[in-house]
Amino acid sequence: MNVLLIGSGGREHALAWKIAQSPLLDKLYCAPGNAGIANVANCVDLDVGDHAVIIQFCQKQNVKLVVVGPEVPLVNGLVDDLEKAGIAAFGPSTKAAALEGSKTFTKELCDRKNIPTAQYQHFNNAPKAKAYVRNHSMPVVIKADGLAAGKGVIIAQTVLEASNAIDDCFEGEYGDAGAEIIIEDFLKGEEASMFYLCDGEAALLLGAAQDHKRVGEGDTGPNTGGMGAYSPAAVVDDKVERQVMDEIILPTLEGMREMGAPFKGVLYAGLMIDDDGPKLIEYNVRFGDPECQVLMMRLENDLLPLLMATIDTSLAAQQVVLNPEPALTVVMASIGYPGSYAKGTVILSADGLNGDNCQIFHAGTALQDGNLVAIGGRVLNITSRGKNVGEAQARAYQLVDRIDWPQGFCRRDIGWRAVERENG
Ligand code: AMP
Ligand code: GLY
């Protein structure tokens, strides 16, 4: 089978690496890909926003499955258009992608299906929103309704901060995404992400992970797309796993079917977990980045049959087998990220370091004049497995130290929560 993967991040490199191992695969294409993906796939320079171009490419190259990595093409209806053209595609329809594309949509679904989540109010103008926060306890969480590229969530500690955040949203800081906002209660607890393959009817847990969103050690500084992750997450025990499936995931799938928008693809539940049980923070309708990297490092199944089963509604017959060893990934980013950073800096000695327990997944990399260069904020994902998180962490940092890239940096404490737990 020929497969086309859409995307260019570390998530897509991990997916490409895994798909490339499938005995079912003939040819793997990736649009647009990156320098690491080019080692396992044919990178093609297609305009992902032009669905007709993608369809034409698939027809010409006899592509039987398109795997969509990022959220934007999902929300923009790439899967719908491919399906209309008779090409199987992994990912939700544009209607079902509203679970990520609109926070109000998800909150209303939670109301209807009684799914545990933070209390909230929806606003489409600043004065009413400001009046609401004046009488609200602090902290309070302000969220732009639409897709804001991982930004658009402000945890305000004071009424002034909340009012400023409300102004920012309505004054266009997040573009159209901020034309409507929700304001919700601050949830306490420990965060975890859980990933479910869904075929509209059934859900299959792929695994749980913890991300490190802040740029600085000790979870300080501005939010990023994610500076590192590990899987499994100890906070997700058997009880939490059952609760999330029964109280959150299955009611969501039922609600989506009731709306005539069955959810197919991978559902990423961002959760806050405390003694009262798990609460939904948000949904994403794609794999997490960098969480996907640790999931792929642990997944023992052939990925292609699992992806196909989400499309032909046969997930109930599938089982996920994970390597029991934890996996951890450290993100190396360009100095300055998540603010501005230099592009085109040369990375020496990043390849040739992979082994059985270690993989370097590329994100913002390209080959220029024979040099591997950084062209993005997040650039490399140093990923490893170990008998516990501590060992996986030590292995990952050993590799980090062998990468010669003076203009790069990483957090040195990825996995700290798990390692603290392991060390008692
Ligand atoms: P999101 O973009 O919705 O994932 O939000 C970004 C981050 O903000 C989450 O990973 C949480 O750490 C935090 N967050 C979002 N909503 C809440 C909430 N209601 N209570 C506490 N933290 C939250
Ligand atoms: N790592 C967070 C995300 O993929 O949204």
Q: Beta strand 2-7 with 63-68: parallel, antiparallel or unpaired?
A: parallel
Question: Mean pLDDT over all residues of the chain?
Answer: 94
pLDDT at 147 over 80: no
Contact 37, 69 (CB under 8 A): no
Residue 42: which domain range? 2-91
Q: Are residues 195 and 303 in the same domain?
A: yes
Kindly report the three-state secondary structure assignment for every residue of 261-323.
Answer: CCCEEEEEEEEEEECCEEEEEEEECCCCCCHHHHHHHHECCCHHHHHHHHHCCCHHHCCCCEC
Among protein residues, the one with the nearest Cα to ligand 2's atom 3 is 288
Q: Does ligand 1 come within 6 angstroms of the Cβ of 141?
A: yes
pLDDT at 175 over 80: no
Q: How far is the CA of 193 from the centre of ligand 2 (A)?
A: 9
Convert the pLDDT of each residue in 49-104 to its tens digit. Answer: 999 999 999 999 999 999 999 999 999 999 999 999 999 999 999 999 999 988 89
Contact 26, 377 (CB under 8 A): no
Q: Are residues 362 and 263 in the same domain?
A: no
- Which CATH number belongs to the domain containing residue 337 in this structure? 3.90.600.10
Q: Which backbone phi and psi does 79 adopt, to 5 degrees?
A: -65, -40
Token pair belonging to 211: 């991300």
Q: Does ligand 2 come within 6 angstroms of the Cβ of 117?
A: no
Q: Which atom, in ligand 2's list, is nearest to the CA of 284? A: 5
- Which CATH number belongs to the domain containing residue 66 in this structure? 3.40.50.20
Q: Does ligand 1 come within 6 angstroms of the Cβ of 270?
A: yes
Residue 351 one-letter amino acid: D
In 3-state terms, what secondary structure has residue 109?
Answer: helix
Instruction: Please choose from 120, 153, 223, 274 the residue to mutate so as to test ligand 1's pocket, defined by most ligand atoms within 8 A of CB.
Output: 153
- Which CATH number belongs to the domain containing residue 206 in this structure? 3.30.470.20
Q: How far is the CA of 369 from the centre of ligand 2 (A)?
A: 32
Q: Look at the block and give the residue holding tokens 């029991």.
A: 324
Token pair belonging to 137: 């306890």
Burial profile 250-286: b = 16 or more Cβ within 10 angstroms, e = fewer: bbbbebbeeeebbbbbbbbbbbbbeeebbbbbbbbbb
Specify the pLDDT at position 349: 73
Q: Does ligand 1 come within 6 angstroms of the Cβ of 182?
A: no
**Based on the structure, what is the number of domains in the chain?**
4
Is 246 domain-assigned?
Answer: yes
Q: Does ligand 1 come within 6 angstroms of the Cβ of 273?
A: no
- Which CATH number belongs to the domain containing residue 143 in this structure? 3.30.1490.20
Q: Does ligand 1 come within 6 angstroms of the Cβ of 140?
A: no
Longest dimension (CA), the chain: 61
What is the number of helices (H) and of strands (E) in the chain? 14, 23
Q: Are residues 262 and 339 in the same domain?
A: no
Ligand (nearest to CA of 210): 2
Specify the pLDDT at position 223: 87
Q: Are residues 367 and 403 in the same domain?
A: yes
Quote the pTM value: 0.95
* pLDDT, average across residues 292-301: 98
Q: Are residues 418 and 390 in the same domain?
A: yes
Q: Are residues 172 and 253 in the same domain?
A: no
Q: Are residues 195 and 304 in the same domain?
A: yes
End-to-end CA, the chain = 48
Q: What is the distance between the alpha carbons of residues 257 and 249, in angstroms, rounded to a whole number?
A: 12
Specify the pLDDT at position 27: 98
Among protein residues, the one with the nearest Cα to ligand 2's atom 4 is 288
Q: With cut-offs at 50, 70 and 90, classify the pLDDT of residue 351.
A: low
Q: Which backbone phi and psi does 161 adopt, to 5 degrees?
A: -60, -40
pLDDT at 23 over 70: yes
Q: Which of 83-97, 151-165, 365-379 comes out lowest in average pLDDT? A: 151-165
Q: With cut-offs at 50, 70 and 90, classify the pLDDT of residue 387.
A: very high
Residue 346 one-letter amino acid: V
Q: Which of 123-127, 233-237, 271-275, 335-339 comes out lowest in average pLDDT? A: 123-127
Contact 199, 256 (CB under 8 A): no
Instruction: Please choose from 153, 289, 329 the residue to mutate so as to test ligand 2's pocket, defined by most ligand atoms within 8 A of CB.
Output: 289
* pLDDT, average across residues 98-125: 94
pLDDT at 195 over 80: yes
pLDDT at 353 over 80: no
Specify the pLDDT at position 73: 95
Q: What is the distance between the alpha carbons of residues 12 and 299, in angstroms, rounded to a whole number?
A: 15
Residues in Cβ contact with 67 at an 8 Å cutoff, skipping those fewer than 6 apart: 3, 4, 5, 6, 15, 19, 89, 90, 91, 307
Q: Are residues 170 and 209 in the same domain?
A: no
Q: Are residues 56 and 6 in the same domain?
A: yes
Q: Which atom, in ligand 2's list, is nearest to the CA of 229? A: 1
Specify the pLDDT at position 169: 87
Burial profile 167-184: b = 16 or more Cβ within 10 angstroms, e = fewer: ebbbeebbeebbebbbbb
Q: Are residues 196 and 241 in the same domain?
A: yes
Contact 194, 208 (CB under 8 A): yes
pLDDT at 146 over 80: no
Q: How far is the CA of 29 from the centre of ligand 2 (A)?
A: 24
Convert the pLDDT of each residue in 298-340 to its tens digit. Answer: 999 999 999 999 999 999 999 999 999 999 999 999 999 999 9
Q: Which backbone phi and psi does 243 adopt, to 5 degrees?
A: -60, -45
Residue 407 one-letter amino acid: Q
How many of the other CB atoms lie within 10 Å of CB of 160? 10
Q: Which atom, in ligand 1's list, is nearest to the CA of 143? A: 3
Q: Are residues 213 and 168 in the same domain?
A: no
Contact 134, 160 (CB under 8 A): no
In 3-state terms, what secondary structure has residue 92?
Answer: coil
Is 106 domain-assigned?
Answer: no
